[in-house]
Structure 1
Amino acid sequence: MLHALTNTELCTVKRKKSMNQAAGYRHASEGTDPVTGLLNRTALEHDLRLEIHRAVRYCFPLSVIIVSIDGYDEISRDYGSDIACNILRKTGQMLRNSVRKVDMVYRYSNTKFVLVLPHTDKDSSSITAERILGRIRRHIFSSGGEGHKISLHASAGIAEMKVDDDPATILFLAEKALRRTSTDGGRPVSSSSGTP
């Protein structure tokens, strides 16, 4: 037997749907970085936990790349915060456009971005990181009306998930690899192996 909804019931259903959508939008904005439009660190922690669970459950590799813009503070000081924010926005777009649809890109901190790459081992993520860093190096950023051309350099640290890793561990290992880029004779990409 079919039951027709009264106007009151229909309005209640629509209101609940609207409230759920508003809650979803509010949640989405809480997970988005206002400068780049990318997902933020809060979303990263949530999503990375889910991706690790999937990778363990279905036995596929998972890698994390942390990309750091070198010399960002000097750019901000020399050209101003508006230009520095524009560079962050453009860099975020370049990162998003440089990976597959299944990969996720997050703004991690002031000068760092995190890429989460499901179904990707350390060797493949190293190739991805090299390609991305080359793209950043080749791109010339404009300083707006002043006509200055700004080129960036970036570094990357890579970690591949081990079975017992949690989000904090894999991010720590990628950070450790990133720090090693400055001690590896200027090599822009470093991968972490082993335990924290």
Structure 2
Amino acid sequence: MTARILVVDDVPANVLLLQTRLSAEYFDVVTAESGPQALAACAEQPIDVVLLDIMMPDMDGYEVCRRLKAEPDTAHIPVVMVTALDQQSDRVRGLQAGADDFLTKPVDTMQLLTRVKSLVRLKNLSDELRLRAATSRTIAIKTLLSGADEAAHQPSILLVDERDGSTLGLSSVLDGWATVQHQNDPQAGFFDAVEGQPDLVMIATGFKNYDPLRIIAQLRSVERTRFTPLMLIANPEESDLVMRALELGLNDYVTRPVEPQELKARITTQLKRKHFHEGLRASLTETLQLAITDPLTGLHNRRYLEGHLQTLFDRAAKRQAPLSVMMMDLDHFKQVNDIHGHDGGDTVLREFAQRLRRNVRGMDLACRYGGEEFIIIMPETDQQTARQVAERLRMAIEAAPFALGPGKPDIDLTVSIGVSSVVGDEETASSLLKRADLALYAAKDSGRNRVIADAA
């Protein structure tokens, strides 16, 4: 695992120690001696994790963290505060500033590497989602990071703990702040998490006959809970178990006795991160949808057709099943634009797309190929059936005039359609499309408003 780690400390010996340990694991290490240097380093180059000392002159670690998390360009960088402070209030203050984790001096090498590797994996996921969503401007990064949406409702938390006393204590801490569901059976807790989709799952160690690592691994292996925040409640002496849990996909942990304010701050951090990633995934989904959809008609576009036709063709060939293509063109559509303007033409195209949907099956792929040309891919359909469907569609276009809107006249239109079907072993997806195109031109050349099926 390679990543660029920024080590920030005003004491050279501390910097050298962390740099040596990280370099031994082949991390690329960048250093800074002050808060302003750290901010400049993050602004000038890609940083994967920041190891940040708290006690520094001029600008302490809290302020550096706040500034990093306030900027959309750096807010996604995980920040680990490295400090000799051991007061709970200091840790809570750091979490409230946006810190993702803590390491206490003197830094344990195993904890350092485990934490850094875990956060690098998280950063890689964020980077991938952010890169894919970069072309979409529908996502407001600052709004996502602010966590405004979480404040609108109490988070739902599933607590998996077989000890009733521990459960009552945690429930009282979170009462009124979150909705807590308790499950003392770990296997039942797994199913509750998958089916109930809580905002966060807390898993306590100390089961008599069950390994808590197993439920973590199970939750990470299921699609519905792959990105659900998981938090472990462990004993101080269970550091090896915690490190293994982090490697399996645990997001965070607290140790007993649980300090209420730290627990709430850590939960808040995980929920903000969850909300941020969900927003990025939603943006990615919308971006992909825009990339394959014609915005005017809502049908799939040519890009999607070119990618999916080959898939449908290969499947038909494998199953030795029929496959047909219908290519159509609105007759004399240019006159519609010339007489009624492009607004009128757009109205016609939208209505035409609606009539396509009403006259084909859900399994058929209807696309706008470009301009007034449309294509329908028809799986499990031989040429005779495809021709019948095409004729039915032609009649549906001819039978009813197209309404252009209030105060405008309705207009009559017709459509020419070419049909081709898979024939022989030498057929390809491209040749199938080409034959439908040639059949379409034959229909137009022979007088329009007709269906011609290419007999190959």
Regarding TM over 0.5, the answer is: yes
1:62 partner letter: L
1:144 match: secondary structure: coil
Aligned length: 194
In the TM superposition, residue 22 of structure 1 has moved relative to its aligned partner by 1.9
Aligned equivalents of 1:24 and 1:70: distance in 2? Answer: 36
Aligned equivalents of 1:53 and 1:13: distance in 2? Answer: 39
Structure 1 stretches lacking a partner, 5+ long: none
**Residue 389 (structure 2) aligns with:** 128
In structure 2, relative to structure 1, the CA distance for the partners of 1:96 and 1:50 (3 Å cut) is same
2:402 corresponds, among 97, 118, 141, to 141
C-alpha contact 2:415 2:449 (8 A) present in aligned 1? no
C-alpha contact 1:66 1:178 (8 A) present in aligned 2? yes
In the TM superposition, residue 132 of structure 1 has moved relative to its aligned partner by 0.3
**Residue 193 (structure 1) aligns with:** 455
Aligned equivalents of 1:130 and 1:32: distance in 2? Answer: 26
**Residue 30 (structure 1) aligns with:** 291
C-alpha contact 1:142 1:148 (8 A) present in aligned 2? yes
In structure 2, relative to structure 1, the CA distance for the partners of 1:161 and 1:18 (3 Å cut) is farther
Aligned equivalents of 1:183 and 1:34: distance in 2? Answer: 31
In structure 2, relative to structure 1, the CA distance for the partners of 1:27 and 1:186 (3 Å cut) is closer
Larger Rg: 2
Aligned equivalents of 1:187 and 1:93: distance in 2? Answer: 19
C-alpha contact 1:45 1:167 (8 A) present in aligned 2? no
Aligned equivalents of 1:72 and 1:23: distance in 2? Answer: 36
Aligned equivalents of 1:115 and 1:90: distance in 2? Answer: 16
1:64 corresponds, among 304, 325, 332, to 325
* TM-score of the two chains, using structure 2 as the length reference: 0.40
In the TM superposition, residue 19 of structure 1 has moved relative to its aligned partner by 2.5
2:334 partner letter: D
In the TM superposition, residue 146 of structure 1 has moved relative to its aligned partner by 3.0
1:151 match: secondary structure: coil
Structure 2 stretches lacking a partner, 5+ long: 1-211, 217-229, 232-251, 253-266
2:444 match: secondary structure: coil
1:75 partner letter: V
Aligned ranges 1:178-189 → 2 under 5 Å: 178-184=440-446, 186=448, 188-189=450-451
2:295 match: secondary structure: coil
C-alpha contact 1:137 1:154 (8 A) present in aligned 2? yes
Question: Cα RMSD (Å) of the superposition?
Answer: 1.9
**Residue 100 (structure 1) aligns with:** 361
1:97 partner letter: R
